[in-house]
Amino acid sequence: MNFATRAFFLFLLVVLLVYHSLRQRQHKYLFLLLASWFFYASWNPWFIGVLLVPTLIDYTAGLLIEQATTLPRKRLWLTLSIVGNLGLLGVFKYTGFLVDNGLSLIRCLGGQVPSWTVELILPLGISFHTFQGISYTIDVYRGKIRAVPRFVDFALFVAFFPQLVAGPIVRAVEFLPQMTEPPPVSGTQVIEGLHWFVLGLFKKVLIADRLAEFMDPIFQQPELYDAATLRWAILAWAARIYCDFSGYSDLAVGCAKWFGFELPLNFNFPYLSESITEFWKRWHISLSTWMRDYLYISLGGSRQGVLRTCANLLATMTLCGLWHGASWNYVLWGFYNGVLLVVHRLYDHALEGVPQSTVVRRHLVYRLFAWACTFTLVATGLIVVRAQTWNGCWLMEKALLGLGTSEGLRMVPLWVPLLIGLVVVGHLYSGLKNVRCQLLLWPEFPRAAVYVMALALIVVFGPGSTKAFIYFQF
């Protein structure tokens, strides 16, 4: 049940009406939990088992950690929780990858093995709710939050349908305190929910999916196109992945507001970044902060010298890449970003104490140069995860750097730069001015009317069905 479909709109309307008609806390949360499970099962009924197993593991582990009287016992239950979650994730997401590479290695060494592979259906959102469960047991272990006594409450925290499939990754310390009592929904929240919901639909339906029609054939056969067309395809890919994923996050934030819950924003105009470090503070914020707090810091962070800090950054980002996908493209992309973060950290460290360095780095010319370099580096990495073949990847990289040929098909419809331009304008106007939308300054009633009309237009005149969100595969 894709967010950007009429079936979901009907489902959401029914759930909202029933949820708000119920009065008792336990009835509201039980109904919302069952609705969330139904939403998840609508993709594949077997997915429910994959969701329930880690939910039971983490719920039990949280209680046992809190009840344990010794540190070794607490560590034991925490370890079992982490191993259970990562084990389940590993089976479904990485078994095929490991088997394929193991067989390839045996063949390279001269061994004879049959040509077969393991293919398991990847349950939607498994990477997201796995990390959510791990953060809960770690936070209980660290004493940041109490264990949840009611199973329904904890299961709802894991399965809350707006963010279940593709995030943002919501931490227990952010969400569970809101569940003490069903939060009331204010008029402001209803209108803000409409704002984020319409914005997310606009990004997904009218920008991301349209750009996919242009760039997908080019990435499949880049050798057929000239360098200029390849560069437009790269820009279209950068705009598409941002609008597709931030669009989903906006939809999740908007839906949650209609139930009275506040979810963290997941993107903060990332293409305005002037360094790779800043980019990862603006892009997929819930994941980057999760990796920082639960992996990077656990490895030692920056507390054990320069070399150890660099190693921790490389390890964290390589694992971040592997989290995104079970392929060497993602492993390389994660390692590449780790190298960039290490280089930028060393660069910052080298400039500490240098006279006038702060003044120079604040100058407009320097900032524009830093932005151009950062975007080029980010786009270089995005090509790696999207290219179909390594040869195609190399052709796209050469085109990005201006080294491609002028031979080949040139077909860039006018609407492609126009849609990319919308993303650019959104970043420049809203990002630089720190104004999300001019409509936010309007009185509530006119704003609500505009949002409702915009939503109606998208529903009535939209395609009716959309491409799956990119992050569903993660």
Q: What is the SS3 assignment for 300?
A: coil
Rounded Cα–Cα distance for residues 201 and 189 (Å):
18
Count CB neighbours of 289 within 10 A: 16
**CA dist list (Å): 117 to 45, 89, 91, 95, 100:** 25, 18, 14, 10, 6
Would residue 349 show up in a list of annotated catalytic residues for this protein? no
Q: Which residue matches tokens 């902060």? A: 289
Rounded Cα–Cα distance for residues 336 and 397 (Å):
14
Cis amide bond preceding 168, omega within 30: yes
Q: Which residue matches tokens 């997310």? A: 200
Cβ(379)–Cβ(399) under 8 Å?
Answer: no
Cβ(182)–Cβ(28) under 8 Å?
Answer: yes
Cβ(222)–Cβ(400) under 8 Å?
Answer: no
Residue 40: which of 48, 28, 32 has the closest Cα?
Answer: 48
Rounded Cα–Cα distance for residues 215 and 185 (Å):
41
Cβ(42)–Cβ(34) under 8 Å?
Answer: no
Q: Where does residue 104 rank: exposed (0-12), middle (13-18), buried (19+ CB within 10 A)?
A: exposed
Residue 241: which of 285, 199, 275, 271 has the closest Cα?
Answer: 271
Catalytic residue among 129, 195, 284, 324: 324
Residues 6+ positions from 183 with CB-CB distance below 8 Å? 259, 260, 261
Rounded Cα–Cα distance for residues 414 and 284 (Å):
30
Residues labelled catalytic: 324
